[in-house]
Amino acid sequence: MTEPNYLTADYTLRSWFFTTDHKRIAILYFASLTMFFFIGGAAATAMRIELATPQADLVSDDIYNRLFTMHGIIMVWFFLIPSIPNTLGNFIVPLMIGARDLAFPRLNLMSWYIFMLGGSVTLFAILAGGIDTGWTFYTPFATLYSNSYVMVAAAGVFIAGFSSILTGLNFIVTIHRLRAPGLTWYRLPLFLWSLYATSVILVLATPVLAITLVLIAVERFFGVGFFDPRIGGDPLLFQHLFWFYSHPAVYIMILPGMGVINELVSCFSRKQVFGYKFVAWASLAIAALGFLVWGHHMFVTGQSLLASLVFSFMSFVVAVPSAIKVFNWTATLHKGSLRFDAPMLYALAFIGLFTIGGLTGLFLACLAFDVHATDTYFVVAHFHYIMVGGMVTAYFGGLHYWWPKITGRLYSEYWARAAAILIFLGFNLTFFPQFVLGAEGMPRRYHVYPPEFQVWNVLSSGGATILAAAYLLPLFYLGYSVFFGARAPANPWDAPGLEWQTSSPPPEHNFDVQPVVTRAPYQYSRKFEAKPQNA
């Protein structure tokens, strides 16, 4: 054997739990996120089983309310927000920019510990008796009426927020300061542009969530507070503050996915991403405009007509950069040499599902339609199309794409493709019927519903079973590959990015010689061979 890589450098537990190596921290995150995904997914599956019949026969109303709350909280804050940034991002960012590590490695480790602390507190809240406010914590229900573990769960989310902030901070500083010689901004792979935009949101939006949760805690603890209507406080102010964070947060949950898709689409069509600069700036435009649309969650609360008008308009405007990206990815395929390995299947699924989710977002941004559709399953379907169909799909795509780099092993292409297709089918069967339900008026967060909605609910529940099985598959074949898979070469996809120019898995210090970047990303020869960025 040659020199040890980052995995074989040391085997002690200490070398894992006190590591400052971004690659090992990425693995720590990966393990914890997988756990959280399965916890959140188990709650979802339980909900779907309950919803197969119109009556309450599996769980009581209180339990159901706790299920979707826990599902939302776990999936959003403990899975989707950290998913791509903290696993793939952590691993790939320094490699992509030719650096030895992130700017603040110890901070990076600390943010994992903070994340785990937040996660444990939240899990404790769930085990202690759960929380039933919905992931949105609306006041005055959450502050004055709910008798569940709101404070504990809010504390968990609050703590995890710091982990987000620190990660964002680390990425911003790293991308600014640690780029390899020759790596100008316009030579950065688009994954980094999107992570940069994501980090800006993480740093600027998360503190608003933090302060909002503090206000909630104060109100709950002292029985009086800012949002208390009894003293003339305004419950809607809470919603403004919450969505001021949470709308930008939905872009935290899609931008990294879009970044991954750029890498996949370009690599598997053997072509430069079409309109590089437009895509790059579109990421920043989404991050910036995303701060101006939060009121579109409040069209029926009685906010002023003018405000609704402005927020609706801005929601359409923020869709433009997303449209630019979708068109550019499609154009990238044109005259390429397309290969349909598993990551590419995920990328294609992403484009389709994200667009459906995005377009239905426009339905909701359309004032009059939202009056009917808000708080119905139409909204549920909208965001699952984007978050599961989009972001989770991108996460799986990226995971497969970089798997050989991360583990140094090749997985079974056959199983990987089968899983990708199964996920796609199961997903659509789960969530498409929910559009119909929503359009027909089935409210969300209902576990008892009028019987005429049953047919569509049964379809959806059936789909969820397929989806659950499909999500289990990678656990097996990826797990298998770690121990028995064939050894991966340094650059199995023949991609030009810097991360592929070091061995798989990379050595502890990432590169034997400091790479010097000489060309733009995504360059391929006429014969569709990659031209490495540093040669």
**Positions that interact with Cu ion (CB under 5 A):** 247
Site string for ligand HEA, 379-418 (x = CB under 6 A): xx-xxx-xxx--xx--------------------------
Taking the complex as a whole, the smallest distance from the CB of residue 34 to ligand HEA amounts, in Å, to 10
Residue type, 317: V
* DSSP symbol at 521: S
From 496, 432, 486, 485, select the one nearest 460 (Cα to Cα): 432
Binding to ligand HEA by residue 66, rule CB under 6 A? no
State the number of CA atoms in the 13 A half-sphere of 490 facing the CB: 15
Rounded Cα–Cα distance for residues 382 and 398 (Å): 23
Q: What mask, x for binding another protein by CB under 8 A, covers residues 332 to 371? A: -xxxxxxxx-------x--xx--xx--xx-xx-xxxxxxx
**52, 116, 117, 236: residue in contact with another protein (rule CB under 8 A):** 236
Candidates 35, 42, 58, 439: give the one binding ligand HEA (CB under 6 A): 42
- Indicate whether 208 belongs to the interface with another protein (CB under 8 A): yes
Output b/e per residue, 62-82; b: 16+ Cβ within 10 A.
Answer: eebbbbbbbbbbbbbbbbbbb
Binding of residue 445 to ligand HEA (CB under 6 A): yes
Place of tokens 């693995």: 27
Report the b/e string of 248-275 with b at 16+ CB within 10 A: bbbbbbbbbbbbbbbbbbbbbbbbbbbb
Q: Does 132 bind ligand HEA (CB under 6 A)?
A: no
Q: Residues binding another protein: what is the number (CB under 8 A)? A: 134
Alpha-carbon gap, residue 183 to 201, rounded angstroms: 24
Which one of ligand HEA, Cu ion, another protein, none is in contact with 72 (Cβ closer than 5 to 8 A by kind)?
A: ligand HEA
Give CA–CA dist 96/23, Å, rounded.
Answer: 13
* Piece of 27-35, 123-131, 202-210, 395-403 that binds another protein (CB under 8 A): 202-210
For residue 79, what are its two tokens?
Answer: 């899975």
From 511, 529, 512, 535, select the one nearest 97 (Cα to Cα): 511
Residue whose beta carbon is closest to ligand HEA: 41
Contact 254, 386 (CB under 8 A): yes
Question: Among residues 359, 418, 425, 473, which is the contact residue for ligand HEA, using CB under 6 A?
Answer: 359
Q: Minimum distance between the CB of residue 404 and another protein, rounded to whole angstroms?
A: 19
Q: Position 93: which residue type?
A: V
Residue at token pair 């952590």: 90
Q: Is residue 76 at the binding interface for ligand HEA, with CB under 6 A as the rule?
A: yes
Interface with another protein includes 432 (CB under 8 A)? no
| Residue tagged 């320094």 (tokens) | 94
Nearer to Cu ion, 157 or 254 (CB): 254
Q: Nearest distance from residue 422's CB to ligand HEA, in Å? A: 12
Alpha carbon separation from 339 to 218, 271, 501 (Å, rounded): 56, 12, 21
The residues of the shown chain that bind ligand HEA, judged by CB under 6 A, are 38, 41-42, 44-45, 47-48, 68-69, 71-72, 75-76, 80, 134-136, 250-251, 253-254, 296-297, 315, 318-319, 322-323, 326, 355, 358-359, 361-362, 364-365, 370, 374-375, 379-380, 382-384, 386-388, 391-392, 430, 444-446, 464, 467-468, 471-472
